[in-house]
């Protein structure tokens, strides 16, 4: 026994030496090449793994055991960064963006998996693998490129919600893979057990752990704090494992419970070195499980999934962020920043492999997609600003105007919803919308699962032919679901109208001219588009595994196209309203053209008279201005700030809604509309000064000088 113990210690020491030595060298090389350290660790694992043939091999079993410690500590650290306070601060808009993106990628991943002939479980795990972006990679890229401000806050908020979604996905997939399957009864039982476990652990944990953590931290003994925190981490991870859930779920919950103590920064500082050590071992173990032969064999799925991750996340995050009130530029930047998968994807892939739910090729496929998207991430972040400008230039004129003014409409909505009556009405409509969607999803899932049994029952007793039995069961499910579909449409329309009336109030008397009618119609349609995405994307993602074919997705995208066409018509009608408002503003500015205060705001009465044009201001182009003798296209004012130029006055003449080829001259006065932040940034761009909070509240990405 002693001999075996010494031999085991020797194997452990040898494995640690090989793994950490190679990882350290790879980390230094990655830093020199300006690549994420995580990528270096994966390459190091590939080198010391059994699939390459390099005569420097670490014991896979020892490394796998140590890597599990890395998983636990990584998830514990993510839990420390997550708390109920942070979840509340991220806001509804960020949560909606994350839900839309995760739902879209989960559906795409599942659909592609089924198209390649993978099993239902493998396709479910593939969808989960693609849904979650990498907190580690994004944080590193943002630090290296110095990205701060509003865009960083948006991306970090989305990542917080994604982490929570990932935990729920892992818990659900673990239960399904352990034998619950996709039957209605088993799913209901699984959901009830998971909810019971989470509620019991969170309630009991909140009563004990935060209070105990504060007392231990108050002792001012760092080693005691570290040991006690890690003990809580491993204890709850072990409890989760014993109850049939993953250690990652338990470690995450342990971190989030400790975070409620308010001492998470202290504990995170203490845990970071230990986490980084075993985290390096974890990422090396990821590389060790990569099999180049399997990757070469499955290069088509790798390529397809990589394209889906990049394009799907840019579209999902970009649409979600824009529809919840972020500008087009910020939304595109956020989407391109989140276009990768990382540590959560490795953990989910490893979970599927350990549970026997997936075959071995899924893991190297996930790692290859992560490696490719990780390499692309810094380039995508750097390219986000020119891409946003290109998108703005190529949009049709009506859409450019709608995109510029949409944020200003929502800006008026936020203070309007502070009233108790308005808030209660909106919350009531939202609850009805969500409840109808949940009930509809339950009906569709239960109907899909029960239809097969009902058809088999009718056919087995020779009551009717299979075709008629199938048609009857489908008709019955449709009949039950119809009232809830109608309810979703009605509540969605009512919610959109209510929000639009709060943002752009209609006249108090019917005899008064409604100057905001066109803007309000455009806002209603755009809000309905946002609600369709919010309800439809999760609905399709949840119901797709239970439905044959793509009927649910086809219906969803059909409705989406119809509403998008309605939004296009509204945007075209909005052009007339904008041109009329630009005419009024141009006439006022022409009368004021000889006054010295060229950058004075347009009087507030005019803003009220021209509802739907945001907060228009006048900006003068002086001698030596950065805008002088440049065209609007060269200045790229809309692309860089999100504001739109309504008119240009030049002496006694005026240009209404000028084109991008219009050249500015000293003495011109620009009437600019948009959100307060957008017009402030436009003023800074034209006059060459810096706004108080930086352009659009964001910092431009810059190349790392490290």
Delineate the domains of the chain, giving CATH numbers in brackets: 64-394 (1.20.1530.20), 398-571 (no CATH), 592-696 (3.30.70.1450)
- Residue 192: is its pLDDT beyond 70? yes
Residue 266 to residue 226: CA distance in whole angstroms: 10
SS3 597: coil
Q: How confident is the model at residue 3 (pLDDT cuts 50, 70, 90)?
A: very low
Closest CA to 108 of 131, 87, 85, 91: 131
Interval 481-526: pLDDT, tens = 888 888 888 888 888 888 888 877 777 766 666 667 778 888 888 8
Are the beta carbons of 333 and 369 closer than 8 angstroms?
no
Question: In terms of residues, how long is the chain?
Answer: 706
Q: How confident is the model at residue 303 (pLDDT cuts 50, 70, 90)?
A: very high
What letter does residue 658 receive in the DSSP assignment? -
Residue 530 to residue 658: CA distance in whole angstroms: 30
What residues are paired with 149 via a beta bridge? 698
Residue 488 to residue 101: CA distance in whole angstroms: 21
Integer-rounded Cα radius of gyration of the chain: 28
Residue 359 to residue 355: CA distance in whole angstroms: 10
User: pTM of the entire structure?
Assistant: 0.80
What letter does residue 695 receive in the DSSP assignment? G
Interval 518-548: pLDDT, tens = 788 888 888 888 888 888 888 888 888 877 7
Are the beta carbons of 31 and 37 closer than 8 angstroms?
yes
Are the beta carbons of 474 and 454 closer than 8 angstroms?
no
Are the beta carbons of 76 and 271 closer than 8 angstroms?
yes
Most confident residue range from 31-40, 456-465, 583-592: 31-40
In the block, residue with structure tokens 């342990």: 254
Residue 129 to residue 257: CA distance in whole angstroms: 26
Per the prediction, the chain carries an average pLDDT of 78
Q: How confident is the model at residue 300 (pLDDT cuts 50, 70, 90)?
A: very high
Residue 127 to residue 121: CA distance in whole angstroms: 10
Q: Which of 40-44, 54-58, 106-110, 126-130 has the lowest mean pLDDT?
A: 54-58
Closest CA to 163 of 134, 143, 139, 137: 134
Are the beta carbons of 245 and 351 closer than 8 angstroms?
no
Cα angle at 531 between 527 and 534, to 5 degrees? Answer: 140
SS3 705: coil
Average of pLDDT values for 597-612? 48
Q: How confident is the model at residue 196 (pLDDT cuts 50, 70, 90)?
A: confident
């Amino acid at each position: 026994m002693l001999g075996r113990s010494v031999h085991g210690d020797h194997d452990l020491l040898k494995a640690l030496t090989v793994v950490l030595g190679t990882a350290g060298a790879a980390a230094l090389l990655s830093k020199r090449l300006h690549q994420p350290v995580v990528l270096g660790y994966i390459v190091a694992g590939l080198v010391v793994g059994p699939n390459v043939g390099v005569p420097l091999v670490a014991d896979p079993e020892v490394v796998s055991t140590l890597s599990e410690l890395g998983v636990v500590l990584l998830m514990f650290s993510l839990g420390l960064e997550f708390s109920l306070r942070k979840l509340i601060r991220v806001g509804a808009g960020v949560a909606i963006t994350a839900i839309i993106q995760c739902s879209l990628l989960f559906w795409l991943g599942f659909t592609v998996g089924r198209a390649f002939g993978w099993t239902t479980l493998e396709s479910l795990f593939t969808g989960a693998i693609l849904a979650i972006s990498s907190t580690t990679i994004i944080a590193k890229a943002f630090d290296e490129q110095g990205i701060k401000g509003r865009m960083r806050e948006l991306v970090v908020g989305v990542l917080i919600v994604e982490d929570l979604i990932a935990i729920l996905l892992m818990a659900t997939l673990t239960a399904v893979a352990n034998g619950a399957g996709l039957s209605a009864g088993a799913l209901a039982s699984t959901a009830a057990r998971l909810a019971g476990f989470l509620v019991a652990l969170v309630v009991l944990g909140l009563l004990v752990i935060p209070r105990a953590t504060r007392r231990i931290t108050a002792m001012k003994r760092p080693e005691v704090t570290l040991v006690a925190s890690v003990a809580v981490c491993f204890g709850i991870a072990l409890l989760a494992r014993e109850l049939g859930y993953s250690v990652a779920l338990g470690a995450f919950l342990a971190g989030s419970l400790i975070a409620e103590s308010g001492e998470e920064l202290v504990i995170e500082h203490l845990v970071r070195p230990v986490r980084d050590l075993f985290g390096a071992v974890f990422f090396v173990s990821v590389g060790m499980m990569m099999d180049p032969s399997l990757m070469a064999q499955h290069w088509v799925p790798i390529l397809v999934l990589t394209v889906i991750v990049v394009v799907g996340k840019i579209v999902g995050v970009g649409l979600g962020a824009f529809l919840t009130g972020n500008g087009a530029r910020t939304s595109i930047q956020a989407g391109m920043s989140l276009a990768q998968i990382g540590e959560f994807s490795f953990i989910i892939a490893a979970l599927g492999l350990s549970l026997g739910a997936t075959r071995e090729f899924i893991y190297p496929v996930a790692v290859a997609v992560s490696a490719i998207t990780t390499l692309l991430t810094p380039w995508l972040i750097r390219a986000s600003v020119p891409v946003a400008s290109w998108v703005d230039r190529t949009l049709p004129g009506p859409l450019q105007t709608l995109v510029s003014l949409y944020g200003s409409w929502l800006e008026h909505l936020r203070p309007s919803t502070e009233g108790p009556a308005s808030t209660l009405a909106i919350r009531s409509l939202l609850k009805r919308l969500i409840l109808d969607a949940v009930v509809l999803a339950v009906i569709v899932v239960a109907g899909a699962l029960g239809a097969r049994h009902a058809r088999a029952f009718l056919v087995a007793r020779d009551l009717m032919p299979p075709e008629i039995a199938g048609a009857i069961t489908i008709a019955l499910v449709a009949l039950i679901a119809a009232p809830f579909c109608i309810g979703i449409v009605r509540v969605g329309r009512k919610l959109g109208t209510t929000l639009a009336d709060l943002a752009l109030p209609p006249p108090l008397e019917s005899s008064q001219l409604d100057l905001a009618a066109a803007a309000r119609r455009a806002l209603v349609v755009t809000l309905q588009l946002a609600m369709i995405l919010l309800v439809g994307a999760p609905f399709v993602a949840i119901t797709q595994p239970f439905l044959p074919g793509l009927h649910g997705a086809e219906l969803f995208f059909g409705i989406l196209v119809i509403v998008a066409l309605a939004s296009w018509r509204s945007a075209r009608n909005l052009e007339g309203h904008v041109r009329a408002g630009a005419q009024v503003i141009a006439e006022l500015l022409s009368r004021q053209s000889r006054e010295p205060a060229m950058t004075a705001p347009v009087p507030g009465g005019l803003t009220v008279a021209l509802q739907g044009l945001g907060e228009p201001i006048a900006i003068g182009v002086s001698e030596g201005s950065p805008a002088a003798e440049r065209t609007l296209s060269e200045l790229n004012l809309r692309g860089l700030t999100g504001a739109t130029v309504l008119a240009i006055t030049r002496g006694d003449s005026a240009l209404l809604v000028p084109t991008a080829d219009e050249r500015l001259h000293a003495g011109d006065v620009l009437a600019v509309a948009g959100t307060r932040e957008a017009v402030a940034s436009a003023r800074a761009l034209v006059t060459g000064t810096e706004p108080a909070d930086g352009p659009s509240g964001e910092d431009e990405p810059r190349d790392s000088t490290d």
